[in-house]
């Protein structure tokens, strides 16, 4: 239609504006065509198939891909956190074994050691595994808090640091879902 107006003698005075309008329309047309192509090449079947759940899944997949791209060191981070957690659990075992607790507290310390060993044996490959380790760690903290015959503040601080490490792992694996 703009091309038709450009040919009419009544619009000769605004030929420059019509030319700019044609150029802008061409750019908009190319943008729309690229957008349509990207929609046609996407996984989305069509608007009637796209409910809130599907939108949420698509949004989560996009965020996951962006997260992986922005954190291309993700496997390095994962390995570093696991190594750090492993070294912390060894230090906690040494600290628990070094406690000179009275006989009434020895049972609680052995139970705490058993929980830490379960954590060490557990292979972490998902947020469910991390959640299980957090549960063992919470039991360990409960057992150590029951010890009254010796000062356990240092061990509890170590357990808190390990708990923070597991929380980080948990959110990392949750984000990767």
Q: Which residue would you say has higher pLDDT here, 8 or 138?
A: 138
Q: Which residue would you say has higher pLDDT here, 172 or 152?
A: 152
Confidence of residue 5 (pLDDT cuts 50, 70, 90): low
Is residue 72 scored above 80 in pLDDT? no
Is residue 156 scored above 80 in pLDDT? yes
Contacts of 123 (CB under 8 A, 6+ apart): 129
Asked whether the CA dihedral 56, 62, 63, 64 is positive or negative, the reply is positive
Contacts made by residues 137-144, CB under 8 angstroms, sequence distance 24+: 137/162, 137/163, 137/166, 138/163, 139/111, 139/112, 139/115, 140/92, 140/112, 140/115, 140/116, 143/108, 143/109, 143/111, 143/112, 143/115, 144/96, 144/108, 144/109, 144/112
Q: Which residue would you say has higher pLDDT here, 60 or 122?
A: 122
Structure-derived torsion over alpha carbons of residues 102, 107, 109, 115, reported in degrees to the nearest 10:
180
158 in Cβ contact with 152 (< 8 Å):
no
Q: Which residue would you say has higher pLDDT here, 26 or 4?
A: 26
Query: What pLDDT sits at residue 2?
Result: 61
> What is the pTM assigned to this prediction?
0.54
Mean pLDDT of 150-165: 90
Query: What pLDDT sits at residue 132?
Result: 92
Query: What pLDDT sits at residue 77?
Result: 47
Phi-psi region of 46 (alpha: psi -120 to 50; beta: other; left: phi over 0): left
Query: What pLDDT sits at residue 170?
Result: 84
Mean pLDDT of all residues belonging to the chain = 80
**Across 11-25, 111-125, 144-158, least confident range:** 11-25
Query: What pLDDT sits at residue 44?
Result: 63
Is residue 136 scored above 80 in pLDDT? yes
Confidence of residue 74 (pLDDT cuts 50, 70, 90): very low
Q: How far is the C-alpha of 146 from the C-alpha of 152, rounded, in Å?
A: 10
Q: How far is the C-alpha of 167 from the C-alpha of 159, rounded, in Å?
A: 12
**Across 47-51, 84-88, 124-128, least confident range:** 47-51
């Amino acid at each position: 239609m703009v091309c038709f107006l450009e040919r009419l003698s009544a619009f000769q005075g605004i030929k420059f504006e019509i030319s700019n309008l044609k150029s802008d329309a061409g750019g908009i047309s190319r943008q729309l065509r690229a957008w349509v192509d990207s929609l046609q090449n996407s996984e989305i079947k069509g608007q009637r198939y796209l409910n809130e759940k599907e939108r949420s899944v698509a949004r989560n997949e996009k965020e996951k891909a962006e997260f992986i791209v922005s954190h291309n060191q993700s496997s390095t981070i994962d390995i570093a956190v696991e190594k750090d957690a492993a070294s912390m659990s060894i230090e906690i075992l040494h600290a628990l074994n070094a406690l000179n607790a009275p006989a009434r507290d020895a049972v609680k310390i052995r139970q705490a050691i058993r929980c830490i060993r379960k954590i060490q044996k557990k292979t972490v490959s998902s947020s469910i595994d991390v959640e299980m380790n957090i549960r063992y760690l919470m039991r360990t903290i409960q057992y150590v808090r029951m010890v009254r015959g010796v000062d356990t503040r240092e061990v509890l601080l170590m357990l808190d640091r390990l708990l923070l490490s597991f929380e980080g792992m948990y959110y990392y694996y949750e984000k990767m879902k």
